[in-house]
Amino acid sequence: MKPRFYLDIFVPGGASVVKKVLGKVVRIVHGHLSSNDISSISVGFPKYYESIHPEKSTLGNSLRIVGDKFELNMLSKSPSLFGMEEDFSIEVGKIKEVPESEVIEVIFTRDRSIEKKFKFGYENRVETNSVPFPPYVMLASKSMKTSFPLHVKMKPAEARKDGSYSMYGMSVEGSTFPLF
């Protein structure tokens, strides 16, 4: 298998600031992937945590982008990302090779089940929630002129599977992401 490269982005600050800034970073990555029609870059959250208490679920304060070295280099030089470094003091790390011997493969997907539950009146039902609530970031859609939550679900994978990713960098058909 060909080597994978990664780029870490660290967002400093308290939980509410991190969530807001992380949403902006995800939107920048989405814009780059969409405008360049790139489906080989994956996005993941090394400090992902899921809880049955929605307020405790978190994507963490860092974002990892994995892909081809050339494509990561192009993304890291994005003026929008540079602006985020200036405005919000995010730290964009250097592009490095994934240390394959230290990796646990996982799958990050967009979880739309919460959106569907609310669409069909879930918020009016009295239920005990024993299923972990997936963390999310709020994204602003340029085309729809609205904001929406991007819920992210992580699940373990048995082995590395290369493949394609959505324009948000989420897995399509079980393509994996390296955690280390």
CATH assignment at residue 120: 3.30.70.2540
Range of the domain at 102: 5-179
3-state helix, strand, coil in the chain (%, to 5): 30, 30, 40
- The span from the CA of 72 to the CA of 136, in Å, is 24
Q: In the chain, count of helices (H) and strands (E)?
A: 4, 9
Q: Which residues pair with 156 in a beta bridge?
A: 106
| pTM metric for this prediction | 0.88
Residue 120 pLDDT exceeds 70:
no
- Convert the pLDDT of each residue in 136-175 to its tens digit: 999 988 777 889 999 999 999 999 999 999 999 999 999 9
The predicted structure's pLDDT at residue 145 = 83
Sheet containing 177-179, strands listed edge to edge, beginning at the edge strand earlier in sequence: 136-141, 146-156, 104-110, 177-179
Q: What is the DSSP letter of 135?
A: P
- As for how many domains the chain has, the answer is 1
The predicted structure's pLDDT at residue 121 = 57
- DSSP-based three-state secondary structure for 153: strand
- Convert the pLDDT of each residue in 17-76 to its tens digit: 999 999 999 999 999 999 999 999 999 999 999 998 888 999 999 999 999 999 999 999
